[in-house]
């Protein structure tokens, strides 16, 4: 495995979201590193994307999205779930990729709950110092990816809700 450099995330969210599929979400817990294959992502692209938090403007909540590529953006929804995102693209352009699933855990709220991820890592950079990073397999096996509309964004209106910004790893 090879740890992805922060420069990997300094690209458009749609590209990053697709290329994260098949990579590994890595966490250091109690001195042990656990690695899980990323199976599902969603892209959120700037202030014009009505499904993105950035569509409401630059606020205390969204400020992290305007930061450096590779910054962790965690927010709390429905009074019960934390969502784990990675900021992408150029600084001051609010875009991010939501991790929706990893091997063994489908659903972004289940993922964060399982590993105790919450707002304590919000605004921190991915990396060994934070204890959360992404690795890429050294060999590139051909994988099949399905592209669909995002989940739970009907509030964004049909144009944005139907955009195929969700990527899912298909079984071999």
Q: 141 or 10: which carries more pLDDT confidence?
A: 10
Angle of CA points 11, 12, 16, to nearest 5°:
75
Q: Could you tell me the CA-to-CA distances from 100 to 59, 60, 66 in Å, in that order?
A: 24, 24, 21
Q: Detail the DSSP E strand segments found in the chain.
A: 2-3, 24-29, 32-45, 72-77, 81-87, 95-102, 105-106, 132-136, 144-148, 166-170
Does residue 172 carry a pLDDT above 90?
A: no
Q: Quick one: pLDDT at residue 141?
A: 74
The phi, psi pair for 157, rounded to 5°, reads 90, 160
3-49 pLDDT, tens digit each = 999 999 999 999 999 999 999 999 998 899 999 999 999 999 999 99
End-to-end distance of the chain based on CA atoms, in angstroms?
Answer: 20
**Residue 123 is encoded by which pair of tokens?**
């605004």
CATH for the stretch 2-170: 3.10.300.10
pLDDT interval class at 77 (50, 70, 90): confident
Q: Where are the domains of the chain?
A: 2-170
* 114 close to 102: Cβ distance less than 8 angstroms: no
- Predicted TM-score (pTM) of the model is 0.95
172/136 Cα distance (integer angstroms): 18
């Amino acid at each position: 495995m090879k740890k992805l450099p922060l420069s990997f995330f300094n690209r458009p969210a749609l590209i990053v979201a697709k290329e994260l599929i098949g990579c590994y979400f890595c966490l250091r817990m109690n001195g042990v590193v656990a690695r899980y294959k990323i199976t599902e992502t969603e892209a959120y692209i700037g202030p014009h994307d009505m499904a993105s938090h950035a569509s409401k403007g630059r606020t205390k909540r969204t400020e992290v999205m305007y930061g450096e590529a590779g910054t962790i953006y965690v927010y709390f929804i429905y009074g019960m779930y934390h969502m784990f995102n990675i900021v992408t693209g150029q600084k001051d352009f609010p875009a991010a990729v939501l991790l929706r699933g990893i091997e063994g855990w489908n659903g972004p709220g289940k993922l964060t709950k399982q590993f105790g991820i919450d707002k304590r890592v919000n605004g921190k950079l991915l990396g060994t110092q934070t204890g959360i990073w992404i690795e890429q397999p050294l060999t590139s096996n051909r994988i099949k990816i399905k592209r669909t509309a995002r989940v739970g964004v009907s509030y964004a209106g049909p144009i944005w809700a139907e955009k195929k910004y969700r990527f899912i790893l298909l079984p071999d």
